[in-house]
């Protein structure tokens, strides 16, 4: 059985391995041991409730209960842009009109904005390649929303997700090469590392202050605006199914899209309810449900068969052990 559980400092070797596998452009999983160690400690403090709710950053590990191997990782950041600005480009239409010749021209432009401050971010979703089928990705992705549902007031009314931008066959980012590198003049990996290991002041210092007209951007870079990395297509479909939509914002480094959804509009939560546990044998025709605990401190989530009758969810003993619950404990159950 696959179990989603809180991450902590002991998961550093596994998280480093996943970071190496994730490859270029996966900003939220840098190949930096110190940064990841700090992330895991922050996760432990977040689940323990020992830091302010707005500063919490929860990291979730997908673990094979039979082998103990970590198969994937995901995260929920309670509020972005609190300690430093969270910059994006907004793709805007600028209208220009000349009365002298009675002509109007509409131009698409990239405008640097800081609109996401305080939004909750779901991200860092990554699985080992051999686990990208069979429902593991959906379990891991949806567990983030169950975590939000366990204490909704700790999170923003708006939930965002940033998808990795397009990289070509040479593993180069056309958007970085054609746009962003003109302003930051660093190797992509160095700028990527500095996003997570510094306070981001270099972005504030060097980012363009004026609109960038899309018509002046070369072809490959232009086509990469808002385009998702080939490995992110499945994640995009999961987000769309959950209710996320394109926001018109893109990443300032690789041009990947930012998608948003209202917290209370998340399909997983709209299709969920809280029930009491009854340990037993689910009906023979019972269907799999997404199940999670209702508290953040000992959060667990699994996909398992359950029979729901009135306010009781009957689950088997293995599922109860995986969730760490007993008879009459409460769990959240979703069939969305």
Which entry of 86, 107, 210, 229 is annotated as an active-site residue? Answer: 229
On the 0-12 / 13-18 / 19+ scale of CB atoms within 10 A, 277 is: buried
* In contact, 307 and 313? CB cutoff 8 Å: yes
On the 0-12 / 13-18 / 19+ scale of CB atoms within 10 A, 159 is: buried
Q: What residues does 332 pair with on adjacent strands?
A: 274, 292
Alpha carbons 113 and 210: distance in angstroms, whole number:
11
Alpha carbons 6 and 63: distance in angstroms, whole number:
10
Whether residue 229 lies in the annotated active site? yes
Phi-psi region of 328 (alpha: psi -120 to 50; beta: other; left: phi over 0): left
* In contact, 189 and 23? CB cutoff 8 Å: no
Token pair of 3 as six digits:
């179990």
Burial annotation 25-49 (CB, 10 A radius, 16+ → b, else e): bbbbbbbbeeebeebbebbbebbee
CA-based nearest residue to 137, from 188, 74, 196: 74
Token pair of 19 as six digits:
């970071």
- Catalytic sites, residue numbers: 229
């Amino acid at each position: 059985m696959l179990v989603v559980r809180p991450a902590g400092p002991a998961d550093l070797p596994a998280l480093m391995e996943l970071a190496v596998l994730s490859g270029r452009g996966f900003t939220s999983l840098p190949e930096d041991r110190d940064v990841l160690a700090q992330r895991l400690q922050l996760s432990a403090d977040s689940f323990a409730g020992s830091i302010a709710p707005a500063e919490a950053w929860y990291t979730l590990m997908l673990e094979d209960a039979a082998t103990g191997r970590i198969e994937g990782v995901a995260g929920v950041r309670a509020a972005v842009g609190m300690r430093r600005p969270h910059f994006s480009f907004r793709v805007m239409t600028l209208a220009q009109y000349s009365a002298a010749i009675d002509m109007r021209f509409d131009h698409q432009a990239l405008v640097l904005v800081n609109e996401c401050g305080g939004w909750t971010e779901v991200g860092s979703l990554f699985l080992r390649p051999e686990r990208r089928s069979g429902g593991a990705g959906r379990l891991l992705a949806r567990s983030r929303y169950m975590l939000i549902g366990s204490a909704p007031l700790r999170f923003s009314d708006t939930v965002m997700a940033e998808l990795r931008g397009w990289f070509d066959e040479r593993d180069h980012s056309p958007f970085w090469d054609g746009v962003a590198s003109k302003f930051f003049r660093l190797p992509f990996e160095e700028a990527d590392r500095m996003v997570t290991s510094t306070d981001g002041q270099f972005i504030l210092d060097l980012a363009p202050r004026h609109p960038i007209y899309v018509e002046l951007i070369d072809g490959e870079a232009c086509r990469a605006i808002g385009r998702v990395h080939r490995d992110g297509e499945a994640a995009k479909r999961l987000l769309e199914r959950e209710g996320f939509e394109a926001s018109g914002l893109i990443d300032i480094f690789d041009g990947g899209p930012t998608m948003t959804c209202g917290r209370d509009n998340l399909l997983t939560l709209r299709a969920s309810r809280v029930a009491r546990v009854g340990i037993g044998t689910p009906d023979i025709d019972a269907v799999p449900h997404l199940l999670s605990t209702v508290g953040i401190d000992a959060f667990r989530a699994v996909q398992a068969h359950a029979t729901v009758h009135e306010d009781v969810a009957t689950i088997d003993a293995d599922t109860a052990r995986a969730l760490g619950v007993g008879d009459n404990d409460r769990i959240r159950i979703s069939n969305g």
